[in-house]
Amino acid sequence: MDLDPNVLSPTSKGKYITGYVGLPAGFNVSFIDPSSLRLNDAIPLVPGTRVTIGDHDSDGIPDLIVKFDRQIVKTLFTKPGNYTLHIPGNYVRSGNTVPFEAFDSVYVR
Ligand SMILES: [Ca+2]
């Protein structure tokens, strides 16, 4: 996973943090259940935002592109530093649900 921006400022008024979720070869991101994604087990996607598929890192493997509310994400941090965030989610294919977890780190000013 890659989060954008990677540096968060407490005073930022930005609306969103964008998450780019990639899966290992052989898994298709279109089978990720977007409603199952929870940033740090807590924060769901912003309701009403579009979930799209692109190739953010140009490695030829599609990424699921999702939006989190930056003002809510900021409440996870009480002091500056490096933080590793994780996003658990479910991969659902042919009625089988496979839980997975994606990670990225951010720097908080
Ligand atoms: Ca990619």
* Ligand 1: centre distance to CA 61 (Å): 4
**Is 108 part of a structural domain of the chain?**
no
**Domain housing 10:** 2-97
* Ligand 1: centre distance to CA 49 (Å): 21
CA angle (36, 24, 20) in 5-degree steps: 55
* Ligand 1: centre distance to CA 1 (Å): 10
**Is 57 part of a structural domain of the chain?**
yes
**Is 51 part of a structural domain of the chain?**
yes
Confidence of residue 108 (pLDDT cuts 50, 70, 90): very high
* Ligand 1: centre distance to CA 11 (Å): 31
How many domains are there within the chain? 1
Please give the Cα distance from 91 to 99 (Å, whole number).
6
**Is 106 part of a structural domain of the chain?**
no
- Model pLDDT, residue 10: 87
pLDDT in tens, 51-96: 999 999 898 899 999 999 999 999 999 999 999 999 999 999 999 9
**Is 104 part of a structural domain of the chain?**
no
**Is 105 part of a structural domain of the chain?**
no
pLDDT in tens, 20-56: 999 998 999 999 999 999 999 999 999 999 999 999 9
Confidence of residue 7 (pLDDT cuts 50, 70, 90): very high
* Ligand 1: centre distance to CA 19 (Å): 12
Region class of 73: left (phi > 0), else alpha (psi between -120 and 50), else beta:
alpha
* Ligand 1: centre distance to CA 56 (Å): 5
**Is 109 part of a structural domain of the chain?**
no
**CA 68 to centroid of chain Cα atoms:** 7
**Is 7 part of a structural domain of the chain?**
yes
Q: Is residue 39 packed enough to be buried (19+ CB in 10 Å), middle (13-18) or exposed (0-12)?
A: buried
* Ligand 1: centre distance to CA 88 (Å): 19
Region class of 40: left (phi > 0), else alpha (psi between -120 and 50), else beta:
left
* Ligand 1: centre distance to CA 62 (Å): 5
